[in-house]
Structures are given as structure tokens and as C-alpha cells.
């Protein structure tokens, strides 16, 4: 990735623009269940983000910070947090809003959540086998996190799923944990 805050903010803004562009289509917009903010939902967002990141954090805890990408400058953290939240808003609007919402019109809500999580993981096959060469552990991890976000969306909406996803990515990329 990059440690340039301008690039991170640009990526986040690009994701927001893509979300806004897809929401111009009323058929797609109608599939997105945003959710209602309240304190218990915020707690579930935080818990979901921590649970999603936990397997990778646990496996990598023994490795020195330098082997995990090194320290992130404190001045970059706000831009990184913005990119993590805004960038994953785009993913969640697509996978939990459009896809899971569409699947719910054809099948039971729990089945739609399961299917969206499997598709979310399957879309990482190229990343897992070529770009990173991590293989099945990456697919297992993305299935794990996909299940968390899908059920969070099912119970609370897309925004809570996006916050949990953004928090998990921030925890994994910030070097703070």
C-alpha cells in the first residue's frame, strides 16, 4: 500500500463516488438496507470489527512489527482510517447491499447472508492464489469476515457492516495492534 495520506484519502473518496454512482440506479438503491444508528449497533460494529480481525492479529502477534509491514506514522493514521472506512463502504454496499439484498428477494434471509459471504470469499481467489500466494488461509479468513459482515448487515444494516469491515482493515493495517 502507501503511506501517502493524499493517496489514501483519494482512494476513500473514489470509493464514495462509486457508491454514489451505483445508488443513482433506483433498483440498486432499493436493495440497500442502511440500518438505524444506536448505541447497541455501534457496540456490535466494534465487536464485529475486532472479531473479523482477530484471527490474523492472533497469528501475527508473535511476529515483529517490521515483519508485518512496519510502523505506520501517526500522521498517516487519520487518512488510513478514512480509507479503511470509505473503501470498505464500497465493498459492503456491493456485497451486503446490492448482492445480499438481491439474494433476499429470491431466498430466505439467512441463506442470502451465507451465500453473500461465500461469494465475498470467492472473489478473493485471484488475490489468494496469485497476488499474495497465501492460498486457502486467505479464503478462509475472508469467508470468516464475510460471515460476520453478512450477519451484521442482516440484523443491523449495511452501515454497521461497513463500519465493522473498515475497523477490521484499520486494525490489520495500522500496526497499532
pLDDT digits (tens, 9 = 90+) for 63-74: 887 777 777 888
Contact 96, 117 (CB under 8 A): no
Segment 13-37 shows an average pLDDT of 94
The pLDDT tens digits of the residues spanning 160-171 come to 999 999 999 999
- Match 448505541 to its residue by C-alpha cell: 39
- pLDDT of residue 20 exceeding 80: yes
Contact 161, 96 (CB under 8 A): yes
Angle among Cα 149, 144, 161 to the nearest 5 degrees reads 10
The pLDDT tens digits of the residues spanning 116-174 come to 999 999 998 888 888 787 788 889 999 999 999 999 999 999 999 999 999 999 999 88
> Count of residues for the chain?
177
Segment 21-48 shows an average pLDDT of 94
CB neighbours of residue 110 within 10 Å: 12
Q: Which DSSP letter does residue 33 get? A: -
Report pLDDT for 81: 95
Q: Supply φ then ψ for residue 49, to 5 degrees.
A: -65, -40
Report pLDDT for 85: 96
Q: What is the percent of the chain where pLDDT is above 90?
A: 75
Which residue did the predictor score with more confidence, 75 or 64? 75
pTM for the model: 0.92
- pLDDT of residue 1 exceeding 70: no
Report pLDDT for 136: 86
Amino acid at each position: 500500500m502507501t503511506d501517502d495520506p493524499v493517496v489514501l484519502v483519494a482512494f476513500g473518496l473514489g470509493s464514495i463516488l462509486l457508491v454514489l454512482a451505483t445508488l443513482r440506479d433506483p433498483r440498486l438503491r432499493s436493495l440497500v438496507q442502511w440500518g438505524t444508528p444506536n448505541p447497541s449497533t455501534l457496540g456490535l460494529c466494534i465487536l464485529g470489527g475486532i472479531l473479523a480481525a482477530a484471527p490474523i492479529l492472533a497469528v501475527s502477534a508473535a511476529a515483529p512489527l517490521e515483519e508485518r509491514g512496519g510502523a505506520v506514522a501517526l500522521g498517516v493514521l487519520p487518512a488510513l482510517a478514512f480509507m479503511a472506512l470509505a473503501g470498505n463502504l464500497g465493498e459492503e454496499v456491493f456485497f451486503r447491499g446490492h448482492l445480499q439484498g438481491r439474494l433476499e428477494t429470491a431466498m430466505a434471509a439467512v441463506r442470502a447472508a451465507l451465500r453473500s459471504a461465500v461469494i465475498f470469499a470467492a472473489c478473493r481467489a485471484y488475490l489468494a492464489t496469485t497476488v499474495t500466494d497465501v492460498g486457502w488461509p486467505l479464503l478462509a479468513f475472508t469467508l470468516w469476515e464475510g460471515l460476520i459482515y453478512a450477519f451484521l448487515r442482516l440484523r443491523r444494516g449495511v452501515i454497521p457492516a461497513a463500519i465493522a469491515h473498515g475497523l477490521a482493515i484499520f486494525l490489520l493495517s495500522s500496526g497499532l495492534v
